[in-house]
Homo-oligomer: A and B are copies of this chain.
Amino acid sequence: MMAENRRLSLLSSHLTSRLPPIVHDSSLDDFRKRGKTLDKDFLLKNYLGTAYEAVMIARRHMTNNPLFNLLDETDFTRAELRERVVQQLADIYFKFNLSYERDAVEPLARSDTLCAVGEYDLQLPTRLIIHLLLYIDSIQNLGTQKHVEYARRAFQLVDYGSFSMTELGHGSNVASLETTATYDKNTREFVFNSPTFTSAKWMVGAIGKTANMTVCFAQLIVDDVKRGVHVFLIPIRDYNTHEPLPGLVLGDCGKKNGLEGVDNGFAYFKNYRAPYDCLLDKYASITPDGKYKSAIKNKEKRLAVMLAGLIKGRASVVCSCEEYMRNNLTIALRYAAIRKQFGLSEGSEVALLDYQLHRYRLLPHLAKMFAVRTGYLFLCENYVRIKSKVEEDPECLELAEHHAILSALKALASWYGMACTQECRESAGGSGYSYYSGLARNRNSQDVHITWEGDSSVLIQQAGRFILKSMQKMMKGQRVNVESLKFLKGDVGAVEYKVKFETAQELENEGVLDELLEFYINAILHRTMMKLQENATDAKDMVDAWNKTQAFGIQDLGKAFGEYIMTRELLKFVKVIENHSSVTGAQIRNIFYLYVIGVVEKNLTVFVEGGMSPAQAKTVRDAILQLCNQVAEESINIIDALAPIDNVLGSTLGHSDGQAYTRTLQKAEATPFVYDKAPWFPLVQKAREIGKKRL
């Protein structure tokens, strides 16, 4: 159906509503009044951090802007959606005033822009994550002076870039990519080929239709010697005609679980030629007389450096996960204040948000949302702190630590995000099955975060590996001077549980919670090391032993590490808020307690196996329910303070005016062909005729 027809259909149905008159629903406002005062502006500013300005630019620009209205896009075809996203991008991009020069002095400007447009939807930031982060960062990190102009052009959308790493047959295992780039010494060119049917570059964002440039990961072959994966900056479409260049087949991968507005595609190379300068040659080059040279001798370490372009992209995933949690919780919490069901007497039904069970279903996710956001703020801050060090020495310990934390946070945020999304959807009951609730759209987009930019189940191993390797160093007597690992004890003796608390009040104490978290991570570390040792004796080799220690071991260790870091960061955040306002601070402190005690509860087995008493375990559970009650009273105001604007949220259930029922009716009535007779009625009649003979 064409957009034009659809608009007419909407218009005509609006003019002739057949529905009952609307009654104003004050439920949401009533709930708002129950909360204590909250300094919303201060909370938002600190919650957004350096992204605050960019978010304000985006919100101002998008408010009542018909180009940014998610609920209007619900019936778009794939082609319409793609056009729309490019329109949106062109419309808003230059407002952020990004440039090569500004980037050098404000290294978070690009990430902040993504955070700003990411409130809307993942499609827009996806286009930008690929182009602005993966593509530009690969050029900046791996290229030399001659490549700078390409970065400049990309900053101004003069080129549109893409990131050709993944192939049909290889994702996580980048070292085994099959695309080849063979150096031709006669012409000083590279010849690119996709030698097998699994080697097509696959699901590459924007390569299907939009991009004219790409950074391509390929096995470099010089004089028949395989030199491992290197990165090349190559044009893929003619700048003027936009036709694929000779030697390239570029196509569309088709329908995805979500993000239909982004053209993920494939690229198949057949003797595609590009001149020598396309090699991003900061860490590896070929001399004019054809000799391969690299400052990094170790192939694995060289590959790790080649992947540096992923760092900011991966952090942006953490940011986006939080945004989805925020959007979904905005919808679910507001609807829970509006939706009433059951009650003591007819006509006085109780809001879902007044039920303990509903509070327990939603509020721990609100706490996790804060944890993810403060974790993201740390990633930004730490990135700026270590940036110049990393540029000097890409093998430095600071980068290894950053990578471990980033890996744990990316994985955890994606899992937290998906669980939150799903719980929000379920908590909205049947109304959550309407697409106009926004919850399924969000789920289908958010889903990608679990497997892209590093599969979460692989990344979490890398966090675990960092801890285990550091522990091994300590056991050899070496010093491990890493802030985030200060919990490491340096011996493998069993970890003793000796945390003392009885009441919920005693549990809600920074010192006690710190002890609990330290016990938690050390207990899992101990279990993992014991298991690794056990496996080492009967496994084929250490790789096998390692693989056999994933479940109930390394995976749990990586998770615990992420939770440990987020707890630390959330507490810092609480203190900033408390220093400004004790009333607002107290509300955020409860969220902190709910997060940490939630971590303890979800992993209670670890504690009880370690020696926590059943009475303490009961206190943990009681404390959570009590905190859920406290946070519930403030939750609408808290989410109001952080929620995106209404046309960006795009939900009939979550609109800030609280008129969920009215909006649901209106949106349904605006459905194309809402009152039309079924065009397939003749089919129904045909079946009837068969049936009549059988009566």
Q: 5 closest Cβ contacts across the A-B interface? A: A156-B691, A257-B440, A254-B671, A255-B435, A209-B678
A225 within 8 A of B: no
A171-199 contacts to B (CB < 8 Å): 171-173, 176, 194, 196-198
Q: Contacts of A156 on B, CB cut-off 8 Å? A: 690-692, 694-695
> CA of A361 to CA of B74 in the docked complex: distance in angstroms?
34
Beta-carbon contact of A430 and B444 below 8 Å: no
Q: Contacts of A677 on B, CB cut-off 8 Å? A: 209, 242-243
Beta-carbon contact of A341 and B674 below 8 Å: no
A64-98 contacts to B (CB < 8 Å): 74-75, 77-79, 82-83, 86-87, 89-90, 93-94
1/0 per residue, CB under 8 A from B, across A438-459: the answer is: 0110001001101110011100
1/0 per residue, CB under 8 A from B, across A616-628: the answer is: 0100010011000
Q: Can you give 7 contacting A-B residue pairs, CB < 8 Å?
A: A158-B691, A210-B678, A252-B668, A257-B440, A356-B550, A357-B547, A605-B608
Q: A166-B430, A678-B209 are in contact. Are A254 and B436 (CB under 8 A)?
A: yes
Nearest-Cβ distance from residue A551 to partner chain B, whole angstroms: 4
Which residue of B172, B209, B548 is within 8 Å of A341 (Cβ)?
B172
Q: Contacts of A172 on B, CB cut-off 8 Å? A: 341-342, 429
Interface residues of A (CB under 8 A from B): 1, 18-23, 74-75, 77-79, 82-83, 86-87, 89-90, 93-94, 99, 152-153, 156-158, 160, 166, 168-173, 176, 194, 196-198, 200, 202-203, 209-210, 242-243, 249-258, 263, 266, 268, 341-342, 344, 346, 349, 355-357, 360-361, 418, 422, 425-426, 429-430, 432-436, 439-440, 444, 447-448, 450-452, 455-457, 541, 543, 547-548, 550-552, 555, 604-605, 608-610, 614, 617, 621, 624-625, 661-662, 664-665, 667-671, 673-675, 677-681, 683-684, 686-688, 690-692, 694-695
Copies in the complex: 2
Nearest-Cβ distance from residue A361 to partner chain B, whole angstroms: 8
Beta-carbon contact of A687 and B197 below 8 Å: no
> CA of A550 to CA of B356 in the docked complex: distance in angstroms?
8
Q: Contacts of A253 on B, CB cut-off 8 Å? A: 434, 668, 671
Beta-carbon contact of A203 and B434 below 8 Å: yes
Beta-carbon contact of A87 and B683 below 8 Å: yes
Instruction: With a 10 A CB-CB cut-off, give which of A555, A670, A671 has the most chain B CB atoms.
Output: A671
Beta-carbon contact of B341 and A173 below 8 Å: yes
Instruction: With a 10 A CB-CB cut-off, give which of A250, A455, A680 has the most chain B CB atoms.
Output: A680
Please name the residue on chain B nearest to A75 by beta carbon: B255
Beta-carbon contact of A552 and B684 below 8 Å: no
Q: A196-B23, A667-B254 are in contact. Are A346 and B176 (CB under 8 A)?
A: yes
Which residue of B344, B547, B605, B674 is within 8 Å of A254 (Cβ)?
B674
Q: Contacts of A683 on B, CB cut-off 8 Å? A: 83, 86-87, 90
Please name the residue on chain B nearest to A690 by beta carbon: B94
Beta-carbon contact of B196 and A255 below 8 Å: no
Beta-carbon contact of A452 and B430 below 8 Å: yes
Please name the residue on chain B nearest to A551 by beta carbon: B360
Q: Contacts of A668 on B, CB cut-off 8 Å? A: 251-254, 266
**Beyond A86-B687, A87-B683, A254-B435, 18 extra complex contacts between A and B, CB < 8 Å:** A20-B194, A74-B255, A152-B695, A160-B684, A173-B341, A197-B661, A254-B671, A256-B440, A344-B541, A356-B551, A357-B547, A361-B457, A426-B450, A433-B452, A440-B447, A605-B617, A608-B609, A609-B614
Nearest-Cβ distance from residue A354 to partner chain B, whole angstroms: 9
Q: Contacts of A547 on B, CB cut-off 8 Å? A: 355-357
Which residue of B83, B173, B450, B662 is within 8 Å of A197 (Cβ)?
B662
Beta-carbon contact of B687 and A93 below 8 Å: yes
Beta-carbon contact of B168 and A664 below 8 Å: yes
Q: Contacts of A258 on B, CB cut-off 8 Å? A: 440
Q: A197-B23, A551-B625, A675-B251 are in contact. Are A171 and B617 (CB under 8 A)?
A: no
Nearest-Cβ distance from residue A127 to partner chain B, whole angstroms: 11
> CA of A447 to CA of B432 in the docked complex: distance in angstroms?
10
Which residue of B255, B268, B429, B694 is within 8 Å of A18 (Cβ)?
B268
Beta-carbon contact of B197 and A673 below 8 Å: no
Please name the residue on chain B nearest to A683 by beta carbon: B86
Nearest-Cβ distance from residue A370 to partner chain B, whole angstroms: 21
Please name the residue on chain B nearest to A154 by beta carbon: B691
Nearest-Cβ distance from residue A372 to partner chain B, whole angstroms: 18
Beta-carbon contact of B680 and A86 below 8 Å: yes
Please name the residue on chain B nearest to A344 by beta carbon: B543
Q: Contacts of A695 on B, CB cut-off 8 Å? A: 152-153, 156, 158
> CA of A578 to CA of B614 in the docked complex: distance in angstroms?
41
Beta-carbon contact of A242 and B77 below 8 Å: no
> CA of A350 to CA of B106 in the docked complex: distance in angstroms?
44
Nearest-Cβ distance from residue A73 to partner chain B, whole angstroms: 11
Beta-carbon contact of B425 and A447 below 8 Å: yes
Nearest-Cβ distance from residue A367 to partner chain B, whole angstroms: 15
Q: A252-B668, A254-B435, A254-B667 are in contact. Are A157 and B451 (CB under 8 A)?
A: no
Beta-carbon contact of B440 and A455 below 8 Å: no
> CA of A346 to CA of B178 in the docked complex: distance in angstroms?
11
Nearest-Cβ distance from residue A365 to partner chain B, whole angstroms: 14
Q: A426-B451, A430-B452, A457-B357 are in contact. Are A665 and B90 (CB under 8 A)?
A: no
Instruction: With a 10 A CB-CB cut-off, give which of A21, A22, A99, A447 has the most chain B CB atoms.
Output: A447
